[in-house]
A and B are shown apart, each in its own frame.
Chain A
Amino acid sequence: MKLSTRELVTIAVFGTLWGIVEMTLGGVLKSLDIPMSGMFLAAVGLTVAMVGRVFVPKRGATIFIGVIAMLLKLFSLGGVILGPMVGIFTEALVAELVLSTRKKPNQIILMLAGALGVVWVIAQPFVTGPLLFGRTFFVVWLDFLDTARRVLGLGDSALVLVLGLYILIHLVVGVLAGVLAWNVGKQVRSRLGKSSEKIVEL
Chain B
Amino acid sequence: MKHKTMFLFLVMIAAVILLAACGGGENTPDSAVGADGVPVLMVGEKSYTAAELEGMAQVEASFKGVSYVGVPAAELLADAGYDLASVRAIKAVAADGYSVNYEPDVLSPADVIVAYAQVDGALSADDGDFRMVLPDQEGNMNLRMMVEMQVVE
Contact = CB atoms under 8 A, between A and B. Distances in A.
The bracket for how many chain A residues form the interface is 20 to 34
A146 B99 contact: yes
B23 A151 contact: yes
Contact of B20 (A35, A80, A146): A35
B77 to A, nearest CB: 16
A152 B22 contact: yes
Interface residues of B, number: 30
A151 B19 contact: yes
Contacts of A135: 103
A34 B98 CA distance: 13
Nearest to A83: B138
Given A176-B12, A187-B5, A155 B27 contact: yes
A187 to B, nearest CB: 6
Given A43-B12, A177-B12, A187-B2, A139 B102 contact: yes
B23 A150 contact: yes
B20 A153 contact: no
Interface in A2-51: 34-36, 40, 43
Contacts of A177: 12
Contacts of B11: 176
Contacts, number: 78
A112 to B, nearest CB: 17
Contacts of A154: 26
A136 interface: yes
B108 interface: no
A29 to B, nearest CB: 10
A179 interface: yes
B25 A36 contact: no
A149 B12 contact: no
B1 interface: yes
Contact of B26 (A80, A155, A179): A155
A138 B89 CA distance: 8
Contact of A183 (B5, B97, B98): B5
Contacts of B78: none
Contacts of A149: 26-27
B5 A184 contact: yes
A173 interface: yes
A80 B101 contact: no
B12 A139 contact: no
Given A149-B27, A155-B26, A139 B19 contact: no
Interface of B: 1-2, 4-5, 8-9, 11-12, 15-16, 19-20, 22-27, 88-89, 91, 97-103, 138, 152
Given A40-B16, A151-B23, 12 more contacts: A80-B138, A139-B102, A142-B91, A146-B91, A149-B26, A150-B98, A152-B23, A173-B16, A176-B11, A176-B12, A180-B5, A184-B5
4 tightest Cβ-Cβ pairs between the two chains A and B: A153-B24, A142-B101, A155-B26, A183-B5
